[in-house]
Amino acid sequence: MTVCFDIGGSAIKAALARSPNDLRDLGSRVTPTDDFEAFCRAIDELAASGGAPTQPLSIAIAGVVDPSSGRITCANVPCANGRRLAEDLSAALARPVHVTNDADCFALAEAGAGAGRGHRVVFGVILGTGVGGGLVVSGRLVEGAGGFAGEWGHAPILAKQAGDPPVDIPWFACGCGQRGCIDTIGGARGLERLHTHLTGETWTSIDIMDAWRVRDPRVAQTLACYVELVAQPLAFCVNVVGADIVPVGGGLGRETALLEALDESVRARILRRSDEPLVVPARCTGNGGLVGAALAAQAGRM
């Protein structure tokens, strides 16, 4: 058995995994973001509450883990940032610990138990607050140098015009230090930024999508530009990695009409022709991080 965790900046969720398909919920705690001792204690107490005082831990966390050094870059949990997190937790809790990026865990979950099951190359995409992703080939996670494989959200490649007729789109500054990254447009905050640029109005992403569902003309240009701007780099990624399927999670990933529009636009731009949907809703929406952590533990033979 393995105790699995899905850790974000707001909450720590835990489950006892007998297998990736057999998870027992252990509840959740508020994430102690600035106190590493409290962070360790919360993890330990959740594990102990499930009757697993010594079992290995497998953690999905919102941070990039360098596979060479084990150090994590984790903006949402400052007390973990820069640490060899698996090593430090293992020392503090006296048990084996495995740590994996949450987007990678999402991709593993979709490849092993979700929309990507039965497909050889799965490119899992997250369209949430921001943009993330992970790549799984033949059931194995591709980490790459620095742990950044699949992180398609950060590259200055956005088009500078979109729509019909075309309108100018500036390269907005990105939190990674670059300009024009997909993350500046592709997530919920990016959609809001794009709408403000095009209309001068400040709307939430929820309001924008609600209006689009009822064909409100005030958001038509915003969504047309959004689909074009996101589909172009996504098609590029699909061509490069040869993805069979692209499961999409995150808040915007639950918007069926948006994914259908992205799917149509991406399939029109890639080299491989197919009548079957390529960009599809994720299936492991409620517990993808925990399922992915269980699969990561299984692959690591913890």
Three-state SS at 4:
strand
Residue showing tokens 């003309």: 217
**pLDDT of the residue at 300:** 65
Looking at the fold, whether 276 and 130 belong to one and the same domain comes out as yes
Q: Is residue 239 part of a domain?
A: yes
Residue 39 CA: distances (Å) to CA of 78, 290, 296, 297: 11, 18, 22, 21
Looking at the fold, whether 128 and 251 belong to one and the same domain comes out as yes
For residue 134, name the pLDDT band (cuts at 50, 70, 90). very high
Q: Report the CATH number at residue 28.
A: 3.30.420.40
Lowest-confidence segment of 46-55, 120-129, 135-144 by average pLDDT: 46-55
Looking at the fold, whether 295 and 277 belong to one and the same domain comes out as no
**pLDDT of the residue at 219:** 97
Sequence letter at residue 30: V
The tens digit of pLDDT for each residue in 62-87 reads 889 999 999 999 988 999 999 999 99
The residue range of the domain holding 59 is: 2-104+286-299
Q: Is residue 276 part of a domain?
A: yes
Sequence letter at residue 161: Q
Looking at the fold, whether 166 and 226 belong to one and the same domain comes out as yes
For residue 266, with 0-12 CB atoms within 10 Å meaning exposed, 13-18 middle and 19 or more buried, which class applies?
buried
Looking at the fold, whether 99 and 20 belong to one and the same domain comes out as yes
**pLDDT of the residue at 45:** 94
What letters, b where the CB count within 10 A reaches 16 and e where it falls short, cover 26-45? bebbebbbeebeebbebbbe
The tens digit of pLDDT for each residue in 243-282 reads 999 999 999 999 999 999 999 999 999 999 989 999 999 9
Q: Is residue 249 part of a domain?
A: yes
Residue 137 CA: distances (Å) to CA of 76, 101, 118, 245, 271: 28, 17, 11, 11, 19
Q: Determine if the peptide bond prior to 53 is cis (ω within 30°).
A: no
**pLDDT of the residue at 156:** 87
Looking at the fold, whether 126 and 268 belong to one and the same domain comes out as yes
CA-closest candidate to residue 282, choices 246, 234, 235, 243: 246
Looking at the fold, whether 74 and 144 belong to one and the same domain comes out as no
Looking at the fold, whether 72 and 93 belong to one and the same domain comes out as yes
Q: Is residue 113 part of a domain?
A: no
Residue showing tokens 């007998």: 18
Mean pLDDT confidence for 147-169? 92
At residue 51, does pLDDT exceed 60? yes
Looking at the fold, whether 140 and 277 belong to one and the same domain comes out as yes
Q: Is residue 205 part of a domain?
A: yes
Looking at the fold, whether 142 and 72 belong to one and the same domain comes out as no
Report the C-alpha dihedral over residues 89, 95, 96, 97, rounded to 10 degrees.
Answer: -30
**How many folded domains does the chain comprise?**
2
Looking at the fold, whether 20 and 64 belong to one and the same domain comes out as yes
Mean of all residue pLDDT scores within the chain: 94
